[in-house]
Chains A and B, each alone.
Chain A
Amino acid sequence: MARSITSLDDVTANNLGTFKKINQVSLPTSYSEAWYKEALNSDQIVKLAFFSELPVGGVKAKPLNLSSDLATFDSAVGAKLVPKMVPNVVYIETLAVLTAYQNLGVGKQLLDHVIDQTKQKYIHDVCVHVHVTNTHALEWYEKHGFEQKSLVKDYYKLQGLESPDAYLLYLKV
């Protein structure tokens, strides 16, 4: 069988820098060291995507309970599953692909992985925040079946982004 040109691999302590790099150059928001360390925990859904053996994309998502506070970027990124609470939604924190490698199916493969993991955990919802001005991402998520649920006011306010609102998108799986 011929090897596929795109592939996924685990994030490890050794290539965490690559994951960081991809987020740094692709996303307007920044993440703490602790957040990156958390990516190594086993409850997280984290993968790096490779195109022709070159790391070009990454995803980090985590199972949460719908009651979690997702009102602002900081609370959402910091949100953790409270012990004894049943996880009933997978929240995508970051999903990024380097600009030069977009529209090659890399993002789709990452998303499929998240959906796969969600199903395995018997969870039926995936959700994600998207910056209101990021029409490219909005279109992409809608193309893959996400629906806009609500507008979150001032979601990115503390990040100093212009027009700090975000849409919360949902996908039923």
Chain B
Amino acid sequence: MASKRAPILGNKEDTNFNEALKLYDSKQYKKALKLVDANLKKNSSHAASLTLKGCINYYIGNKPEAESYIVKGLTKGENNYIVNHLAGIYYRAVENYTDAAKWLKAAIDNGSPNKQILRDLSNLQVHIRDYKSLVSSRQGYLEFQPGYRANWTGTAIALHLNKNYKGAISTLTKIESIIKEHLQDQDMYEQSECLLYKNDIIFQSGDVQKALETLEDDKPFIKDMLSFLEYKAKYLMVLGRTQESSIVYRQLIQRNPDNIEYYKQLEICLNIFEKPLSSRIKLYENLNKFYPKADPPKYLPMMFIPSSHPAFKEKAQNYILGQLKKGVPASFVNIKPILKNPKKLKIIEEIVASFFENALSNYDPTIKVWGLYFLSQLSLYQKDLATATKYIDTALEHSPTLVELYILKARILKHYKKYEAAAQIMDEGRQLDLQDRFVNSKATKYYLRANEIDKAVDLISLFTKLDKDAVNGCKDLHTMQANWFITESAEAYKRLYHQYEEELASIEKTPENEEIIGSLHDKIETYKGLALKRYTAVVKIFDIFFNDQFDFHFYCLRRGTPRDYIKTLQWEDTIHSTPIYVRVIKGLSEIYLEIYKEQQQKKAVEGEDDGTTVIKKNNKKNKKAKAQSLKKKESLIAKVESEKDDADPLGTKLLSDLVNNAHGNIIDNLLKLSQPLLNEAKDYQFNWELSFKLNLIKSKYVLSLQAIKNLNSILSLRGRITSKIPQIEQLVTELGEAVSKDESVNEAIKKVVKMGLSASLSDYKEAYEPYLN
């Protein structure tokens, strides 16, 4: 908090302020505020008092006013470190971490003697990924408090994040030698983690031999033997000592025979690919003898043995029939990756069919139903819906109490696009066992797909916490961050308003239809708002996901778990590539672009006439209708409210803000929303399509070109295509046309675009040539 050694006090205000600061530190906000106000009465530009008032305002709940005081304080006393520090505290509290870091840094630079600031600052810097500045604040804090291991580890992490491996290693080694004599029992796990962390850094620095030697030396202190073995095996392999490495991998398989990764590494060590297939098969037969209960020794051979080899059929038969005879529900899912090979799929189909015809009578009835379940899934996989239906119907007749069958039947109906029927079947399965959370969620999802939102919410509410005064679990689902539910709801609302829009378009605009048109407009607005509201909720949840790491920047250092901490940082750096997030941005972008298009059309129409086509509203009738719809709205709000006392439960404001903004802003907002995707989810086709579209609208042709290039490389890789891709051709044409039409565009930009196209998309010369000459 604030400094203990206050600056030399020149006047009464400063004495008063100091008193106020003490009160503020002990959370006596009201008393502190009194003093600060007295100060400001005398000297309205006393910077420190202004800033402190901002902080107090924030903590007593007067949040909207807080920032203006902070800003005022900063303009009056930009170089006052107390002002800087308070501003930093304020911005951290409102989760504006960039500004918080900026002002804490300023506090240090302006000579604050309070070294604790360095610790807070370093947490902020790592949070905003300002690794460069991080090093000096961590080092500064270490010099101030060298007695804690956490501070040494923190410095090493900062150096490591800057890829200064040498520095990180020497920092860790130094504290190790200092602490060696003082280690207690409770420090031993931290010691082990730190040793392994250092070891990983040595490996990353490229000195594998050294890493291996250090690992062996440190072995007595290492608690995590799994990591020890994994590191050792990896190092030996990289060093080319494959014989020794293979022994360690065999040890690892012994520890956990179900980890496929170890088998793959073992194969590499044994150089199995250069030996005949028979020895590879033999290897797995032996492994299977050692670990008869493990899956990989049976499963992996089916992946690598070609379908033409007689052993494939034998292995597949043993594997699949072995599971079917035991009635393993996941039999199909287990072999799904193998089905990518159509010849293998054929063989597997024959195996199961022949088992079904010849041997079934020897087994109890459940085997038949699991077999039918398998065959139905196999048909569904091949998109043969009729056969899938035939199998699943037989199974349902045979064992109508098996929930899995209903789930599969519903899935097949979904593929037929019969969403209502699918939801009903799922619900039928759900009713067999009301405690089954999985099928309850599935039924909810299927009702949402069928646009029956109320029913869906009622179902899922059976498993949510019911908040006080809540009619359903909608709020709880938001608190619990149930992204799947929120996203599916958003999509359902979107389908609904699209449906009403179509209806509206098909209705004649006559005075008799006025009422219907009015109610349709109402519905469209409500559902559009709700769709926006739900999508935005997921975006917010991802912000929370990211900010959740804040506490760990300090906590992990103290706990001494640097390896997991680094992993957490890496994971947080790519959370926006989570498929559900991409899906949300896609949905959101469609709504944004719709609104943008409407605005463009409106603009065009307004140019021609003055918009008198709007039907005049009958006031008397409307009043009554309005009262009625208000009542309806209240009950709707109770059902859809996503947080307590939400000021905008229906997303009305969200929508109107979007619609009434100048048209350029929509695109800017969307660009900002989609930016994390471009950084973190580079492999998604959609991201680049969106980036192209938006940048073209903003006349940022070079960025559009960049998007096409990225899209092209994704598509060519995916399909291993060497010929032209129609979609790319289309986009190249669009870009060429836009650039040539745009008279305001700089000649240099034109040149850059043309050069870029001919350099990396020369296959599409015919598409852009006509425009760029």
Residues of B with C-beta under 8 A to A56: 399, 401
Given A51-B364, A101-B365, A104-B364, verify A21-B432 contact (CB < 8 Å): yes
Selected contact of A14 from candidates B327, B368, B402, B434, CB within 8 Å: B434
By the criterion CB–CB under 8 Å, are A51 and B432 in contact?
A: no
B240 contacts partner chain A, Cβ-Cβ < 8 Å: no
Task: Kindly state the separation between the CA atoms of A13 and B431 in the bound complex, as whole angstroms.
Answer: 11
Interface residues in B418-445 (C-beta closer than 8 Å to A): 431-435
Residues of A with C-beta under 8 A to B434: 13-15, 17
By the criterion CB–CB under 8 Å, are A54 and B400 in contact?
A: no
Residue of B nearest to A24 (CB): B400
A86 contacts partner chain B, Cβ-Cβ < 8 Å: no
By the criterion CB–CB under 8 Å, are B433 and A100 in contact?
A: no
Given A13-B434, A14-B433, A17-B431, verify A55-B364 contact (CB < 8 Å): no
What string of 1s and 0s marks CB contacts (under 8 Å) between B394-408 and chain A?
000011111000000
Residues of A with C-beta under 8 A to B368: 100
A150 contacts partner chain B, Cβ-Cβ < 8 Å: no
By the criterion CB–CB under 8 Å, are B401 and A55 in contact?
A: yes
Best-surrounded residue of B368, B400, B401, B435 (most CB of chain A within 10 A): B401
By the criterion CB–CB under 8 Å, are B365 and A51 in contact?
A: yes
Residue of B nearest to A13 (CB): B434
Residues of B with C-beta under 8 A to A104: 364-365
B366 contacts partner chain A, Cβ-Cβ < 8 Å: yes
By the criterion CB–CB under 8 Å, are B433 and A54 in contact?
A: no
By the criterion CB–CB under 8 Å, are A15 and B399 in contact?
A: no
Residues of A with C-beta under 8 A to B399: 54, 56, 98, 100
Interface size class of B (residues with CB under 8 A): 10 to 19
Task: Kindly state the separation between the CA atoms of A25 and B400 in the bound complex, as whole angstroms.
Answer: 8
By the criterion CB–CB under 8 Å, are A54 and B432 in contact?
A: no
Best-surrounded residue of A13, A15, A20 (most CB of chain B within 10 A): A15
By the criterion CB–CB under 8 Å, are B401 and A54 in contact?
A: yes
Residues of B with C-beta under 8 A to A15: 432-435
By the criterion CB–CB under 8 Å, are A52 and B400 in contact?
A: no
Residues of B with C-beta under 8 A to A18: 401, 432-433
Overall SS of chain A's interface = mixed
Given A17-B432, A17-B433, A51-B365, verify A98-B400 contact (CB < 8 Å): yes
Selected contact of A5 from candidates B364, B401, B431, CB within 8 Å: B364
Distance from A18 Cβ to chain B, minimum over Cβ atoms (Å):
5
Interface size class of A (residues with CB under 8 A): 10 to 19
Interface residues in B369-411 (C-beta closer than 8 Å to A): 369, 398-402
What string of 1s and 0s marks CB contacts (under 8 Å) between B155-178 and chain A?
000000000000000000000000
Residues of B with C-beta under 8 A to A51: 364-366
Task: Kindly state the separation between the CA atoms of A22 and B435 in the bound complex, as whole angstroms.
Answer: 18
Task: Kindly state the separation between the CA atoms of A22 and B432 in the bound complex, as whole angstroms.
Answer: 10
By the criterion CB–CB under 8 Å, are A100 and B365 in contact?
A: yes
Residue of B nearest to A58 (CB): B401
Task: Kindly state the separation between the CA atoms of A56 and B368 in the bound complex, as whole angstroms.
Answer: 14
Distance from B109 Cβ to chain A, minimum over Cβ atoms (Å):
65
By the criterion CB–CB under 8 Å, are A52 and B366 in contact?
A: yes
Residue of B nearest to A25 (CB): B400
Interface residues in A6-64 (C-beta closer than 8 Å to B): 13-15, 17-18, 20-22, 25, 51-52, 54-56
Residue of A nearest to B430 (CB): A17
By the criterion CB–CB under 8 Å, are B327 and A52 in contact?
A: yes
Distance from B405 Cβ to chain A, minimum over Cβ atoms (Å):
11
Residues of B with C-beta under 8 A to A21: 400-401, 432
Task: Kindly state the separation between the CA atoms of A5 and B327 in the bound complex, as whole angstroms.
Answer: 13
Distance from A26 Cβ to chain B, minimum over Cβ atoms (Å):
9
Task: Kindly state the separation between the CA atoms of A60 and B442 in the bound complex, as whole angstroms.
Answer: 31
Task: Kindly state the separation between the CA atoms of A131 and B366 in the bound complex, as whole angstroms.
Answer: 29
Residue of B nearest to A26 (CB): B400
20 A–B contacts, CB within 8 A, in A order: A15-B432, A15-B434, A17-B431, A18-B401, A18-B433, A20-B431, A21-B400, A21-B401, A22-B400, A25-B400, A52-B364, A54-B399, A55-B432, A56-B399, A98-B399, A98-B400, A100-B368, A100-B398, A104-B364, A104-B365
The 10 closest A-B pairs by CB, nearest first: A17-B431, A14-B434, A14-B435, A55-B401, A52-B366, A100-B365, A17-B432, A18-B432, A100-B398, A25-B400
| Apart from the given pairs A17-B433, A55-B401, A98-B400, 18 other A-B contacts in the complex at a CB distance below 8 Å | A14-B433, A14-B434, A15-B432, A17-B434, A18-B401, A21-B400, A21-B432, A22-B401, A52-B366, A54-B366, A54-B369, A55-B432, A56-B399, A98-B398, A100-B365, A100-B368, A100-B398, A104-B364
